[in-house]
Amino acid sequence: MYEYRVHGRGGQGAVVGCKVAGLAASLQGMHALSLPHYGFERRGAPVTVFLRFSDSPITNSSRVDNPDGIVVLDPKLLQLKQLIVPGLKKGGVAVLNTRKPPQEIDLEVPLSRVATVDATEIALSTIGRPITNTAILGAFCATTDILKLDFIIEAITRLMPGANLDKNLEAVRMAHQNTVIEQRE
């Protein structure tokens, strides 16, 4: 079982992005659960989604308190450590949207892997809007061994079949290639 916590802001597509991740995992033969943590969401406010991936059926639908990793869709949220860090496992993983290289990231928890990508720039140059969900999926795929790129592409094709499909697929591929990963202890 892999448990992740995804942080974004209302409007960045965290919920849809996690649905893509869940479908991709399902298509590649795994079981997944994508659990948005609902309050009174509005555009710009922090949004949290919990993700579980497993080879066997998942019965636990409670919130994820101790994630194996975090995924952050908005660079400014990196300043809110009290939001994104609590419960993160020692030796965990962080996939972050930021211009900074991973060496400059300190989340005050010993992590095994820190990955950064400028997902906002990639989203702007492909989709034309700072909707970072598809780019961060590319980074997530490059950083962890859970999802395969082909299935992410298939899931996006099924769930986002509009005029922006090709641009979203480009965002995934660009982020997948441009993610910088630092291995830590």
Partner 1 sequence: MASRAQTAASRETEQTVDFLTGNEAAALAAKMARVQVISAYPITPQTTIVEKLAEYIANGDLEAPCINVEGEHSCMAAIYGASLTGARTFTASSGQGIAYMHEQLFTVHSQRLPVVMAVPNRNLAAHILCDHGDTMAQSTTGWMQLFAENQQEVLDTILQAYKIAEDKRVLMPIMVCYDGFITSHTGATMKVPSQEEVDSFLPSRVNYYDQVNPDDPLVLQIFRYDVMQFEREHDEALQAAKTVIAEVNREYDEIFGRTYGDGLVETVQCEDAEAVILTSHSSAGIARTVVDELRGEGERIGLIRLRSFIPFPQERMRDLLPGFKAVAVLERNETHGSGCGEIYKELRSAAYDLDSRPRILDFIGGLGGADITIDHVRSVARAALEAAKTGSVEKQVTWLDKL
* Site residues for partner 1 per CB under 8 A: 18-19, 22-23, 25-27, 30-36, 38, 57-63, 65, 155
CB of 102 to partner 1, least distance (A): 29
What's the CA gap between 144 and 174, in Å, rounded? 16
38 vs 103 by CB, closer to partner 1:
38
68 vs 170 by CB, closer to partner 1:
68
35 vs 96 by CB, closer to partner 1:
35
Sign of the C-alpha dihedral, residues 73, 79, 83, 85? positive
Q: Which residues contact 48 (CB under 8 A, 6 or more apart)?
A: 5, 6, 7, 14, 36, 37
CB of 131 to partner 1, least distance (A): 19
Give the residues across from 46 on adjacent strands: 9
CB of 60 to partner 1, least distance (A): 5
58 vs 85 by CB, closer to partner 1:
58
What's the CA gap between 153 and 159, in Å, rounded? 10
CB of 4 to partner 1, least distance (A): 14
Query: What backbone torsions phi and psi does residue 44 show, to the nearest 5 degrees?
Result: 95, -20
